[in-house]
Amino acid sequence: MYFAALLARTEDGWKASDTELDDVETLSDLADLARESSPDEDTVLVLIEQEDAWFGVVRVDGEDDPRIYVSDAAAAARSSYGEILLTDELLGRDPDDGDDLDALDLDGTEDGESDEDDADSGDGATGSADAVPHGPVGDPQILDDLGVSEKELRLMSTEAVTEIAESLGASETLETVR
């Protein structure tokens, strides 16, 4: 089960809204959604959690590039919402590594002709899966200036969204959309 909410910092405090991520396909889409929730270009946090598996925080400050923290990249990689957050840049990958043209076998053989070819393609798939680390990725200092230290963020449980809201003084606000 997933939960996603936007917390926008305003001059009156934090404003929460739940959000549907069904139409969000990329990190840019998510950042645009966050910016739309704050007309004054204030800080907006997108909080996403999958029960008992992982959580993610995306921070959007005005027109700056979004900052991301994911508690467990390997768990998030198995989730459609997690895949939005796990960009090549965040994982330290070269986006050209997965170019489909490079992956084509142009040696003149057809599929299924060689067991070696099958084994090679299987190893490649395993290698790319291993490229997603177990554990946290991203900017662990994403909430430092808001009162949640790197150490606190890394130690948060599967109730991280609630813990973050409590640290920000926005738990009651968040509960209105939960």
Render 73-108 in DSSP notation, one character per residue: HHHHHTSHHHHHH--HHHHT--GGGG-HHHHS--SS
Candidate from 8-12, 57-61, 130-134 with smallest mean pLDDT: 130-134
Q: What's the whole-number average pLDDT of the chain?
A: 82
- Strand order across the 137-138 sheet: 13-18, 2-10, 43-50, 54-61, 67-70, 137-138
Q: How many residues does the chain have?
A: 178
Is residue 56 within 8 Å of residue 48, measured between CB atoms? yes
Mean pLDDT of 57-86: 94
First CA to last CA distance, the chain: 13
Number of Cα atoms under 13 Å in the Cβ half of residue 104: 5
Candidate from 26-30, 33-37, 158-162 with smallest mean pLDDT: 158-162
